[in-house]
Amino acid sequence: MSRLRFGIFLAPFHPAGENPTLALQRDLRLVEHLDQCGYDEAWIGEHHSAGSEIIASPEIFIAAAAERTKNIKLGTGVTSLSYHNPLWVAERLVLLDHLTRGRVMLGVGPGSLPTDSAMIGLNPTQTRELLETNLDVVMRLLTSDEPVTVDTGTHRLVNAQLHLRPYSDPHFDVAVAAVASPTGPRLAGKHGVGLLSIGATLTSDGFDALAHHWNVMEERAAAFNTTVNRDKWRLVGLMHIAETREQAYKEVEHGIEQWFNYFQKVAAFPQMDVGSGGDLKAMIDFINESGTGAIGTVEDAKAQVQRLVDQSGGFGAFLLLAHEWANPEATRRSYELIAQHVMPEFQGQAQATRNAKQRASDTRTGHAEQQNLAVAHMTEKYQKELANKEGQGS
C-alpha cells in the first residue's frame, strides 16, 4: 500500500464571543504542533461571517504559519474563488509558493457560507457558476504563458499574465472542494487536479459520497482528456482520540455541543448539518454510530481510516477536520496519539518493527544461550590468565 498522508482541515471552529486574538494564536500553535508530529498537510479556511470560522484570509495565515514550521505543506482550504479576482488569487499563491519554497497548495471552492456571498451580492448558484469560470482562468495562468482576456461576470481581465512563474514545477498542488454537489469533482476531473472531499463522512449520503465523487471525476477526465490521480484525492473526517474511550467521551464534553449547534442553528450550510439528539451523549454516540467519525481510542481511529480506504478504493490523504471538542491540551494529545499509533499503520512504518521484534523473539532462546556461553568462555579465559600469572610468579 502506498504511503497515506495525514493532515488537518482548519476552518477553524471557535465559539462566538471568545477572544479572537488568542484563538488565532492557538490555531498557529496547533499547526506548529502538527509539523513537529510529522503531519503532512494543513489546509486553512476562508470565511467572513457567522462568528465562528474567523480566518478571513488563508493566505495571510499561511504566511505566518510558514515562518513557524519546517516541513508541513500549507494549503488554502479553501480560497472562496468566486469572491475574488482570479488573477490576484493566482498571483498571491505564486508569491506564497516562493516564500515557502514549494510548501503551498491551492484549494478552491465556491464559498460555503451564504452569509459571506450575500454581502457581495452573490447567491450560492452564482458562486458555483463563477467557480468554474475563475478556476479556468487560474489554471490557464498557471499552465500557459499566453495572455488571458476574459469577462468573468464580476471581473474583467485584459491580456492578464503572471509576472512570476511558480516556484514548484510545473506549479503547486491545486484541489477543488466537494461537499454534496457534483461541482467539485466535475471541475477536478476537467482540469486533472485534486479533490477535497469535505463531505465524505458528514452528509446524509455517508460513505456513498466517495464513490459518487470519484465517478464524476473519472467521467469528466475522460471527457476533457485529462488524468485524475487518487494520490491527489483528500478525504476529510472527524476524530478525537484518547487513551481510553471513556476518557475521549469525557474530553469532548468540553466543546462538541457548541460545534453541533453551530451547524444546526447558525451556519446556513445544510450539507454539514449532521443532526443528532439534543443531549451530549446523543451527539457523541451519533458521531461513532453513524460512521461520521471516531471518538475513542487509536483502534477506533485505525478502523475509521481503514473503512474509508476500503470504501473509496484508495485515496492520497486523510485530513482531520479540526475542531475544539476538547480543551487545547487534550486536542494536542489526540493529534499525538494519531501520529504515534495510527499514521504508521498506513505509511508502511508499523509492520517493519513488528517483524523485527518477531524475528528477535523467535531466535531469542538460541541467542541467549550463545550469550551465556560467551560469558562463560571469557570467564574461563580470564581465570586461566590469572592462574598462569600465579604460576610464573612462584
pLDDT given for residue 288 in this prediction: 92
The residue assigned the cell 503551498 is 104
Is pLDDT at 242 greater than 60 in this prediction? yes
Do 318 and 378 sit in the same domain of this protein?
no
Do 262 and 132 sit in the same domain of this protein?
yes
Name the pLDDT band for 207 (thresholds 50, 70, 90).
Answer: very low
Q: Provide the CATH number for the domain around residue 252.
A: 3.20.20.30
Which three-class secondary structure state does DSSP give residue 40?
coil
Higher per-residue confidence, 344 vs 180: 344
Taking residues 109-136, report their average pLDDT.
96
Evaluate whether residue 109 is within a structural domain: yes
Is pLDDT at 205 greater than 50 in this prediction? no
Closest Cα partner for 119 from 77, 75, 83?
83
**Residue 14: how many other CB atoms lie within 10 Å:** 24
Domain coverage including residue 368: 364-393
pLDDT given for residue 356 in this prediction: 94
Name the pLDDT band for 270 (thresholds 50, 70, 90).
Answer: low
pLDDT given for residue 269 in this prediction: 60
pLDDT given for residue 281 in this prediction: 87
Do 240 and 118 sit in the same domain of this protein?
yes
Do 349 and 373 sit in the same domain of this protein?
no
C-alpha cell of residue 378: 571469557
Do 309 and 384 sit in the same domain of this protein?
no
Count of domains for the chain? 2
Do 219 and 273 sit in the same domain of this protein?
yes
Evaluate whether residue 359 is within a structural domain: no
Evaluate whether residue 283 is within a structural domain: yes
Buried b (16+ CB within 10 A) or exposed e, 255-275: bbbbbbebbeebbebebbbbe
C-alpha cell of residue 337: 496519539
Dist CA 109 CA 383 (whole Å): 80
Taking residues 346-366, report their average pLDDT.
94
pLDDT given for residue 391 in this prediction: 81
Taking residues 344-352, report their average pLDDT.
95
Residue 12, preceding peptide bond in cis (omega within 30° of 0)? yes
Is pLDDT at 274 greater than 90 in this prediction? no
Do 235 and 171 sit in the same domain of this protein?
yes
Evaluate whether residue 339 is within a structural domain: yes
- The burial class, CB within 10 Å (0-12 / 13-18 / 19+), for 161 is middle
pLDDT given for residue 341 in this prediction: 98
pLDDT given for residue 348 in this prediction: 94
Is pLDDT at 35 greater than 60 in this prediction? yes
pLDDT given for residue 282 in this prediction: 87
